[in-house]
Every structure is written in C-alpha cells, then in structure tokens.
Amino acid sequence: MRTLRPILLLAAFISFSGCATNLHSSSSAATPKATYQPGELNGETLFDILSAELAANQDHYNYSLEKYLKQAELTRDPGLAKRAASIAQYLRDTDALTRAVKLWIIADPSEPEPRQILANILITQGKFTEALPHFKTALDQGQGKALLLITSQLGKMSNTEVTAYIELLEAVDIDKSLNNERLVALGILQGHLKQYTVALQNFNRALESSADLPSALYQKAETLKSLNRYAEALSTVQLLLVDAADDRQYNALEIQLLFLLKQNKQGIAKIDQLIINNKDDVPLHNYLALTALDFNQLDKSKSILEKLLLTSPANSSPYFYLGIIAERNEQPLQAIDYYLKVDSGSNLLQAHTRAISLHKNATDKEKVEKITEQLINSHIENQTTYLLMLADWLIKFEFRQDAISLLDTNIQQQGDNTDLLYTRAMYLEPTDFPGAERDFKRLLQLTPDNAVALNAYGYTLTVHTSRYQEALTLIERALALAPKDPATIDSMGWVLYKLKRYDEAIVYLSQAYLLYDDPEVASHLIAALADNNDRERAQELFIKISNSHPDNKFVERARQSLEKKQ
C-alpha cells in the first residue's frame, strides 16, 4: 500500500490544479466524483487535503479535522489517519481522536502508536474491558506507557476488571526491556486485590534484575507495610532515601512507618527536619500536620496547624483539624469554637455539622438555633443544608413538631424545595401518613425520576396501607433507576413479601442483606424465610443479629416473626 504524505500531496495538487477555491465551497464542483482505492491519488482527495492544510494554517482546525477524517475513512491511508489524530489531539476532541486512531489501526495494523493511543483513551474513559485487547497489542509491540496508565486508574476498576488485567500481564510475552515494568504493574494490581504475598514476590523478581529500581522498592515497602512487616518496610524505604533524600513520597512513608513502629520521637524529628528544609512549603506542612494527627501525635499536629494559621490567615481549614484535636482531648467547647471558625474550603459543611452535633443536650436548643441562623446569614448558598442540620438535631432531641414547623415555614418561603419536602415527608411518616403522602406526591410531580422518593413512598405504603400493588409499581420504578441500591432492593423484597410472593422476596432480601448487613434488612429476610417454612435459616440469621445488635428494635421484630410460626 502506498502512503499518502500530506505535504507531498499538497505540492502535487498545486501543480495539478492551481490555487484552491473557497475552503467552504463544495469540492465536487472543482473535481469530478472520485472513485476511491486505498493509497490511490485522485483530485477530490488532493483538494480536501489542500483545503485542510490551508484551514489549519488559518487556525480553522475543526474544518481541517473534518476533511482529514473524511479522507482517512475513504482512502484507508495511515498518513491521513495519523494527521487526523494529531489535529484531534490538539483540539482535545476525544471522539474524533478515537475515530481517527481506529482508522489508523485499520490502515496499518502493525503500527503500535495508534493502539497505544486507543488503549489510553479507553482506559481513561473507564472502558477497561474494551481497552484490554488494545492494551495487549500495545505491550506486544513494546509500548510500556500503557502499564503506567492502567495502574493509575485502579480506583475506577472493578475487581473483575483488575483480575482480567492480572491474567493478561501474567500471560503476555513481553519484550525483556519492559519485563521489570510489567512485574511492578502486576504487583500493584495484585496489591489492589489485597494479594500482598504474590505482589511482594513480583516486586522481588523485578529487584533481582534491577536491585535499585525505585518503583519496585517503593511498592515493596508499601506492600510490606500492608503485611504489617513494618521494620522490613522501613529498611526498604530507607534504601530509596539514600539517593532521593528530598523525595516527599518516600519521606512520608518513612514517617508513617516510624510511627507504626512506635518510634514516635524519630517520627516527630523527621517531621521537624522536613519543615526546616521546606519552610515555605505550606501544602507539605499541612500534610505533615495531618500525618501527625492520623497517628495521634496531637501536640505536634496542633503546633504545625497553629503556625499555618499565622502564615496563611486567609486559609481557615486548619481550624477543622484543631477542632478534631480538641474533641480527642475532650474539650467540646473549644472544638465547637474551632469548627465554627471554618469559613471556606472542602471541610466547611463537615466542620459546621460537627459543631452542631457537639451540642448534646436538649437544653442546648436555643444555642443551636442561634448558631444555625448565624451560619445561614454567613453562607446563604448552604441555607438548605443548615436547615436540615437543625431539623435533624431537633428530631434527635424529640422536638419533632418544632422540626416540622421549621420545614413548614421554609417550604412556604422557598416554594417547592425538594430536599425540604422529602425531609418533611419522612418526619411526618410515623404519625401523619396522609401528610407524608401529600409531600411524596408533590415531590414526584416535581422530580418524577427521583429514585429515593419513589422508594421511600413505595416502602411507606407497605407500612401504613394494604396498597401493595401500587407500592410495587413505585419500587419497581425506583429499582430501574437505582438497581444496585440496597435500600431499594430491600424494599422490593419487602413488598413482594407483603404480596406473599415469598420465593421472589427471599431472592431480593438476601441480595440486600449481602450488600448491607443491617438489622432491619435482616428482620425482613427472617420474616420471609419464616413464612416460607425455612425456619432453620431464619433461626441462624436471628442468632447472628441478636449477638451483633442485642438491643435493636428490629431484632425484637425478627423474634416476633419467628414466634409467630411456632
């Protein structure tokens, strides 16, 4: 096959047909209808390429990309597909890039680069199964970058997908130059599945041929830590620090291991030294403060956090961690004060939630209401969240009517706030089913595909009415929207139980219990098993939840279900 080179084609076309016409005019007006053969030059192809290059020179890259994709598809020429891929990468157009590299692979199956690019795209998109054959081909052709990418995406992968990549890496016949990288990647994947012993074996195999390989040493140290072999892990990471004394990742791991080995003085000394060596590195200081906090070195953590507040007064996040330290030191009033000083950042709402929750007496009601009012005034964008915090606190301390009145007032003021409507429905449900039903119906008018509301309404119908078929319809809709939600799966099992479809109910309730080991779910399963004459399994489950949750109200309901069948 003859490859069409874009620059040569431009020269050929210039001599062939003179200057190009308007880039946006129809090419069919300039040339006769082309018959395309792979690698064969024709007027329409030449015209499109010239138009594309002139467009690119004028920064009209979308037009240029369109023309190159068109001609790559028609001619199956790898040079054109590669040029289309290059432009798509520049434009960060993932869809066009995917199309271009797929055409490139068809045009030149032996070329490793498009396989590497396609594997990267699919892995980044989380399409791990689809990426697998391209990943293998990239490795077969000596492209090791895919190994780094797959290990960086572990958090997005299911265990089944990780296992598939482990099996591939174990079987692949890889170039010798990539074998150590393969072993390290394989060990990382195995470690993700907590297969620490075999992971360690692979890191050691990599180190047999390259004793100072940093990635293998670091992963070995991390794996030894996971196996609670802290002294060996410390020795391993200290080998890394000989040649990379300033590496933050290695230093962080060494500090963790020193604390795990109860060498607290050495750990604190290491923290102090890092701070001296990096006196202006605020993120590092923050990390070291949190590391000290993780290992309950409260005085050291507090000292670093207080200095951070002095050097970066605009950043209020250290107050959140000072609040945690105060809580651990059993200083609730000090903790509340710290939490309320957090005025921005990712911990804002968590800090304020903790401040509210530290008011542990019903007599604190006026204080909590005043704090909530101040928080709303300062952070109006979080008004609904603060109202729900207050309502939850009021419910916890048995001010149910006050909580409902609070929601009534704010629903009237704000209109149809779905969060407030849902919360009011749940608060009304135990004592005022008609009121709760009105809120559920209004909520579903506003958000008909609200899986949480559909499930809650359906389950509420099973508790307060005999409208089980209506409940089933609602829960089926919820389950279609949230098929993996254990609460919805439990509701489906419960409504089927109410409909006396015991075999089907047990399937759903068993699945829900596997997903969510909860006394309420267990009590539902026990009732279904008992009514389906599977008393032995019901009794086994009852004993289990009686031991783990002896004072739970749902354990008592489960006991009643068993006694009913005696």
Q: What is the DSSP string of 50-89?
A: HHHHHHHHTT-HHHHHHHHHHHHHHH--HHHHHHHHHHHH
Return the DSSP state at 176.
G
Give residue 9's pLDDT band: very low, low, confident or very high (50, 70, 90).
very low
The answer to whether residue 8 scores a pLDDT higher than 50 is: no
CA dist 521 → 86, 442, 459, 505, 557 (Å): 55, 28, 13, 12, 11
What is the pLDDT averaged over residues 312-326? 96
The arithmetic mean of pLDDT across residues 231-253, rounded, is 95
pLDDT at 4: 39
How far apart (Å, rounded) are the C-alpha atoms in residues 391 and 364? 14
* Nearest alpha-carbon partner for 101 in 73, 75, 61: 73
Separation CA 555–CA 537 (nearest Å): 15
Does the pLDDT at position 449 exceed 70? yes
User: Which token pair is 563?
Assistant: 């006694």
| Pair of tokens at residue 390 | 């207050």
Q: Which domains does the chain have, with CATH numbers?
A: 449-566 (1.25.40.10)
- The answer to whether residues 202 and 232 touch, using CB atoms and an 8 Å cutoff, is no
CA distance 317 to 342: 6
What does the DSSP 8-state code read for residue 466? S
Average predicted confidence (pLDDT) for the chain: 89
- The Cα–Cα gap between 13 and 177 comes to 45
In which region does residue 345 sit, left (phi positive, over 0), alpha (psi from -120 to 50) or beta (all else)?
left
- Rounded Cα distance between 540 and 548, Å, is 13
Average pLDDT for residues 500-517, to the nearest whole number? 95
Instruction: Using the structure block, give the residue that is written with the tokens 């004993």.
Output: 543
Tokens representing residue 61 in the block: 């890259």
How far, in Å, CA of 216 to CA of 533, rounded? 57
Upper half-sphere CA count for residue 117 (Cβ side, 13 Å): 23
d(CA 368, CA 387): 11
Q: Which of 56, 44, 60, 46 is nearest to 8 (CA)?
A: 46
pLDDT given at position 14: 37
Average pLDDT for 279-285: 93
Residue predicted with more confidence, 543 or 501: 501
Amino acid letter, 402: D
pLDDT at 455 over 70: yes
**Separation of alpha carbons 361 and 149, rounded Å:** 52
Top-confidence residue, 499 or 65: 499
* Residue at token pair 């899986």: 451
Taking the C-alpha atoms of residue 490 and residue 506, their distance in angstroms, rounded to an integer, is 10
> Is 50 exceeded by the pLDDT of residue 24?
no
pLDDT band at residue 51 under the 50/70/90 scheme: confident
383 pLDDT more than 50: yes
Q: Please compute the mean of the pLDDT values over residues 21-41 and round it to a whole number.
A: 45
State the pLDDT at residue 36.
Answer: 52
Q: 471 or 107, which is more confident?
A: 471
What is the pLDDT, as a whole number, of residue 139?
Answer: 81
* Residue linked to tokens 């963790």: 256
pLDDT tens for 66-114 read: 888 888 888 888 888 898 888 888 889 889 988 988 899 898 888 878 8
Instruction: Match 């470690």 to its residue by tokens.
Output: 191
Judge whether residue 491 has pLDDT over 50: yes
- Distance CA(359)–CA(367), nearest Å, equals 8
Average pLDDT over residues 291-300: 97
Do the Cβ atoms of 47 and 20 come closer than 8 Å? yes
pLDDT above 80 (res 20): no
Whether the CB-CB separation of 275 and 285 falls below 8 Å is answered with: yes
pLDDT band at 316 (very low <50, low <70, confident <90, very high): very high
Lowest-pLDDT range of 396-400, 406-410, 552-556: 552-556
For residue 354, what are the contacts with CB-CB under 8 A and spacing of at least 6?
323, 327, 335, 339
Q: How far is it, in rounded angstroms, from Cα 413 to Cα 119?
A: 53
Band of pLDDT at residue 16, cut at 50, 70 and 90: very low
Whole-number Å distance between alpha carbons of 123 and 147: 11
Q: Which of 6-10, 72-76, 427-431 has the lowest mean pLDDT?
A: 6-10
E-state strands within 135-260: none
CA distance 218 to 238: 10
Tokens, residue 152: 């960086």
Query: What whole-number percentage of the chain has pLDDT above 90?
Result: 64
Spatial contact of 101 and 76, defined as CB atoms under 8 Å apart: no
For residue 1, what pLDDT band results from cuts at 50, 70 and 90? very low
Of 9 and 442, the one with more pLDDT: 442
SS percent in the chain: helix, strand, coil, step 5: 75, 0, 25
pLDDT of 226: 97
pLDDT higher than 90, residue 256: yes
Higher pLDDT, 172 or 412: 412
The 8-class DSSP code of residue 283 comes to H
Assess contact for 227 and 191: CB atoms under 8 A.
no
Mean pLDDT, rounded, for 452-469:
97
